[in-house]
């Protein structure tokens, strides 16, 4: 067959284009070949300590999420002695029963920062012979264990003693020329407690708390309105004409219901 010059030129051109379109053929020239493609397998890395801690906290949180504000109400029973540790004639034990057991009610509110809480608490205890109320600051440390959350609290503040039983005190005080205001006392308390909350969902909890109080109370001296007769009335007037103080103590067990936001 006779190959014409134009046909030869066309064949050479097609061969050149084919070589350019195939880079592997260029690399293969001179004995060179491209390396095979490397497929990298995904590498699994162990979670860091921070990631492990966050995962553990998420499991223990039981899906409640973060809490910033709390409030609760409580009710229970308290046993309290006004002169448990020290007595400097705060009250006359023959007129006033200094050790009592009775119902106690309270309420608290505050803020929370992960494990720590800070707030205020009011408590009112009503006994057969007198009443006591306290208002103060409260700080706590909580241990999240899923829905169950134990905690410890510490606090203190103002304390007021008054509303003495008039049926037993008024007659004796009247003989001494005094009124019930002579028995009222003021001071402060220190409190420590432990308890737990059980959470139902995100916001509602119920729990129990056991706490102990130290009471530091004092009263001002009272001046009799009349001169008492000699005997017991005069002795009572002499006692309340001087300042008195005491260090008392007590324990309270309460049930609580709380809201958390």
| Residue 59: both structure tokens together | 């499991």
Is 60 within a domain? no
SS (H, E, C) 154-165: EEEEEEEEECCC
Q: From its phi and psi, is residue 31 left (phi > 0), alpha (psi between -120 and 50) or beta? A: left
Is 53 within a domain? no
**How remote is the C-alpha of 156 from its chain's centroid?**
14
- How many domains is the chain partitioned into structurally? 1
What pLDDT shows up at residue 3? 47
Are 121 and 111 spatial neighbours (Cβ–Cβ below 8 Å)? no
Torsion of CA 139, 145, 150, 155, to 10 degrees: 0
What pLDDT shows up at residue 82? 94
CATH code, domain with 195: 2.40.160.20
What pLDDT shows up at residue 237? 79
One digit per residue, the tens of pLDDT, for the chain of length 261 reads 454 555 555 555 555 555 454 554 454 545 555 566 555 556 667 778 777 766 665 555 555 678 999 999 999 999 999 999 999 989 887 778 899 999 999 999 999 999 999 999 999 999 988 999 999 999 999 999 989 999 999 999 999 998 877 666 666 777 777 776 777 899 999 999 999 999 998 899 999 999 999 999 999 888 777 777 677 778 777 888 889 999 999 999 999 999 999
Is 159 within a domain? yes
CA–CA separation, 127 and 161 (whole Å): 11
Is 181 within a domain? yes
Task: Work out the angle at residue 153's Cα, subtended by the Cα atoms of residues 148 and 159, and round it to the nearest 5 degrees.
Answer: 135
Is 18 within a domain? no
* Residue range(s) defining the domain that contains residue 117: 66-260
What pLDDT shows up at residue 40? 58
Is 57 within a domain? no
What pLDDT shows up at residue 129? 86
Is 15 within a domain? no
Is 190 within a domain? yes
């Amino acid at each position: 067959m006779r190959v014409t010059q134009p046909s030869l030129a066309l064949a050479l051109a097609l061969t050149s284009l084919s070589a350019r379109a195939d880079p592997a053929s260029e690399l293969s020239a001179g004995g060179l070949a491209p390396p095979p493609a490397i497929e990298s397998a995904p590498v699994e890395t162990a979670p860091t300590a921070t990631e492990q801690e966050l995962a553990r906290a998420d499991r223990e949180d039981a899906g409640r999420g973060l809490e910033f504000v709390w409030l609760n109400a409580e009710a229970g029973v308290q046993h309290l002695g006004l002169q448990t540790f020290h007595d400097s004639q705060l009250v006359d034990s023959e007129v006033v029963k200094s050790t009592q057991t009775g119902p106690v009610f309270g309420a608290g509110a505050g803020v929370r920062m992960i494990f720590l809480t800070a707030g205020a608490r009011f408590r009112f205890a009503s006994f057969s012979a007198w009443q006591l109320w306290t208002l103060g600051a409260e700080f706590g440390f909580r241990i999240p264990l899923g829905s169950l959350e134990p905690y410890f609290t510490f606090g203190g503040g103002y304390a007021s003693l008054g509303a003495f039983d008039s049926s037993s005190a008024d007659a004796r005080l009247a003989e001494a020329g005094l009124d019930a205001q002579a028995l009222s006392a003021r001071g402060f308390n220190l409190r420590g407690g432990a308890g737990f909350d059980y959470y139902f969902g995100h916001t509602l909890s119920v729990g129990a708390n056991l706490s102990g109080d130290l009471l530091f109370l004092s009263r001002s001296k009272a001046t009799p309105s009349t001169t008492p007769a000699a005997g017991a009335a005069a002795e009572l007037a002499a006692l309340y004409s001087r300042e008195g103080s005491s260090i008392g103590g007590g324990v309270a067990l309460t049930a609580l219901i709380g809201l958390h936001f």
